[in-house]
Structure 1
Amino acid sequence: MSNTITATNFNFPGQTGVYRGKVREVYSLDNDLLVMVATDRLSAFDVIMPKGIPYKGQILNQIATKMMKATEDLVPNWLIATPDPNVAVGKKCEPFKVEMVIRGYMSGHAAREYKAGKRELCGVPLPEEMKENDKFPEPIITPATKAEKGDHDEDISRENILKKGIVSEEDYVVLEKYTRALFQRGTEIAAERGLILVDTKYEFGKTADGEIVLIDEIHTPDSSRYFYADGYKERQEKGEPQKQLSKEFVRQWLISNGFQGLEGQQIPEMTDDYVTSVSERYIELYENITGDTFQKASLENIEDRIRENVEGFLTNYKDS
């Protein structure tokens, strides 16, 4: 659809490089700044879907920046400013090569592994006789290695992270502490909205002066799973699926159409009607998660808008 941004090719003042992730494109500048553009690309099972979703980048960027501001008293983060609805600007960091996944409930990937008979995930023992979507006695941390482009993220234990020297023990202790603190705050924020934060992932990096900070997105529907609190207990008792707010509805649509990102599988056709329905769902997610009414940014000349806003910010930042 023409009203989406699925790729960018900016050349900002002082630009030294660009990294293109599954959804975000990150421009490095020579003054230790990063310009992160949230595109409208949709990724599921580590595969980028063929069509963009209107407003998705704006939604993810605005939820992430709102949640970073709501947690900056607990954990320092990379964010400096948001000069455009799709853009965050922050401090350049060296990312840790692990994602810190934390789970409060037996859902998603954990539930699929449990159903397959596994009783340990990333070195963490799982209780017997749990049902899908049951709450864990305590949240568990199940890290994943950061995939190279085109590869799948892979589960890894704390023991193997330390053994392979992916993260030092000193730093890993901080990552665990920050992960638990963020999840607790995210759980409290969700509860105020009548939601349950089921599981999520956090990414961290180290600044030039050695400070560990939160980077990338936080508590968005792409990185997190939410349930509606109302009726959760009754649905569990009846063995019914939970009503949830996350990207899981896209995954389930793909699974029902024979796609799980495996070799030889074809991505099902995404009609314009389906793309519109996904966009509407993301807006619903935004409003439920934040409690704010979503303000749609203009979809005309999105790249020109981003370029003007970012260059205006950089000029003022340089002069300040």
Structure 2
Amino acid sequence: MNTLTHFASPQLPLLHRGKVRDSLRAPSGDRLIIVTDRLSAFDSVLETAIPHKGAVLNGLANFWFEKTAHIIPNHVIKLVDANAMLVKEAEPIKVEMIVRQYLTGSMWRGYQEGQRTFSGVTVPDGLTKNQPFPQAIVTPTTKEESDREITPENLVSEGWVTKELYDQMAVKSQMLFAVGSQLLAEKGIILVDTKYEFGLLNGKLILIDEMHTPDSSRFWAAEDYARNPETAEQMDKEYVRQWLIANKKDGKYLRALTPEVAQEASRRYLDIYQRIVGQALPTAETEAADAPHTGRQDARARLLANLVQAGMIKDAWVNIVMGSPADKEHCEKIRQQFEGYDVFTQLRVTSAHKNGEAIAGMAEIWNNSIEPGVIIAVAGLSNGLGGALAANVNVPVISCPPYKDYAELAMNLNSSVIMPSGTPNLTVVRPDNAAQGALRALNLPRLRERLNKDILATKAKLRAADEELRIL
């Protein structure tokens, strides 16, 4: 399946990896949010991703942020890609504002057990499942390892927010819910309940995270609810939850979905998007149009192209890894060779013998990077670093050893050419050739075109020199 399950790039520092969203530091200092196709259910991220899910969530969040900007400012700067949003860096308020219009879900389960007060809000006896409240209620929770019901008074007394700030959040939440409910009602959808998250930007309250998406809200089809309120089916990932419940094995939920279930879940996400926005998800239509010719449109390739176009990353990277800070001068000689080729370069330090465990963390980024890359290992004497890197990464590794004399070089070359199986480390002695080898290994069309010009220019110089000598 064509899905975006993981985002990584050595060009963008990772800030947080959530169940669905990956947050990274953008070059501007703002935050880049990548909404993946991962799906979480029962506090676990499933092994099976849902095609188009990330684009649906990202697109819907952007749609609602635009629709409600008159109520409260939000953190959106721009949509960079169907799966990526550039946002302002705000100080998050660690309180989720849950707005409920119907007695359902966890609240109904508590109600059945005799609970009548929820986060300081008391509801009457005699209510039935999925019954609407006279007006929407706000039941805040804290954002901790496990969300906790809490009253507004305790939020203030425990120092989560000031009373003035909570009151402002409560008013804005009710206003947002009212706008969302009205617009969705026009589409034949009931907004059952949802959550809002807020932050402070320069001391002012703004809306952050997501809003009115299938992952943050509960939707019912109005026609389904009208037929039988108590059996109304959620228009979100509840379909997957029910399948997992029905297919437990040895009392445990499965971690993977069947292709049929994943496709049906995808269809439901796309249907929600189209019903709310009024048109099909653009990237889904593009993929369908391209499918007969290319088999699929790669979501990763599209995301990379859009990030490059937005100037947020280069289309390729080279990491020059040295075994000791003493090798920095040699590394800089290599790095200089990439000037003019518009490739991201980065210097790193790690020792195969002294802190080899650090390689695993680097490899996790390199192996999953959205853009192609090459590693150049710089280590003198025995080449343990090049071998350790080559054994742990899925990108080309080129060693370019520093050396004081031919004896040191011979030692390094000897260790390099007898690498064990599964450690495809290549060794180049000259810094300029190491860089040129890396550029060729990247195999990008634009670099190949540039290298063709370089080759022709070299040939022209040689011809000119030859002609000059013949004249003499």
Evaluate the alpha carbon distance shift between residue 122 and residue 213 of structure 1 in structure 2; reply closer, same or farther with a 3 A threshold: same
Gaps (5+ residues) in structure 2?
288-295, 314-472
Could you give the per-residue CA deviations for residues 238-267 of structure 1, whole angstroms, max 9, x where no partner exists?
Answer: xx41143222222233333449xxxx8443
Q: Which residue of 1 aligns with 2:118?
A: 121
CA gap of 1:304–1:233, structure 2 versus 1, over 3 A, is closer
Say yes or no: does 1:284 pair with 2:277: no
Counting only pairs closer than 5 Å after superposition, residues 1-320 of structure 1 correspond to structure 2 as 1=1, 3-12=2-11, 15-29=12-26, 31-148=28-145, 152-207=146-201, 209-230=202-223, 232-236=225-229, 240-258=230-248, 265-267=252-254, 269-295=256-282, 296=284, 298=287, 300-314=297-311
Per the alignment, in what secondary structure is the counterpart of residue 231 of structure 2?
A: coil
Asked if the contact 1:79–1:90 (Cα under 8 Å) also holds between the matched residues in 2, the reply is yes
Q: Check conservation: 1:83, 1:89, Cα contact below 8 A.
A: yes
| Distance apart, 1:300 and its partner CA | 3.9
3-state SS of the aligned residue for 2:85? strand
Distance 2:269 2:51 in 1: 9
SS of structure 1 residue aligned to 2:223: coil
Answer yes or no: is the 8 Å Cα contact 1:68–1:218 preserved in 2: yes
* Alpha-carbon distance between aligned partners in 2 of 1:213 and 1:70, rounded to the nearest angstrom: 14
Report how far residue 46 of structure 1 moved.
2.5
Compared CA separation, residues 126 and 258, structure 1 to 2 (3 A): farther
**2:181, 2:191 within 8 Å by CA — same for their partners in 1?**
yes
State the shift of 1:206 in Å: 1.2
Write the letter of the residue equivalent to 1:69: E
Secondary structure at the counterpart of residue 73 of structure 1: coil
Deviation at 1:159, TM superposition (A): 2.1
Higher relative contact order (Cα pairs below 8 Å, separated by 6+ residues): 1
Aligned residue pair count: 302
Q: Distance in 2 between matches of 1:92 and 1:191?
A: 33
Of 242-251 and 184-193, the range deviating more from structure 2? 242-251
Q: Distance in 1 between matches of 2:55 and 2:305?
A: 16
Structure ranking higher in helix proportion? 2
CA contact (8 A) 2:46 2:255 kept: no
Greater CA radius of gyration, 1 or 2?
2
In structure 2, the residue corresponding to 1:61 is in which secondary structure?
Answer: helix
CA drift of 1:228 comes to 1.9
CA RMSD of aligned residues (A): 2.1
User: Which is richer in strand?
Assistant: 1
Q: 2:236 touches 2:268 (CA, 8 Å); kept in 1?
A: no
Question: Which segment is superposed worse, 173-182 or 226-235?
Answer: 226-235
Which whole-Å deviations, capped at 9, do the CAs of 1:107-134 have from their partners, x for residues lacking one? 1121122122211111211221111110
Quote how far apart the aligned CAs of 1:235 are. 1.7
Q: Distance in 2 between matches of 1:70 and 1:107?
A: 27
Q: Is the 8 A contact 2:80 2:86 kept in 1?
A: yes
Q: CA deviation at 1:71?
A: 0.6
Letter in structure 2 aligned against 1:194: G
* Aligned-partner SS, 1:245: coil
Please report the TM-score for the alignment, with normalisation by the length of structure 2: 0.60
1:253 maps to amino acid: W
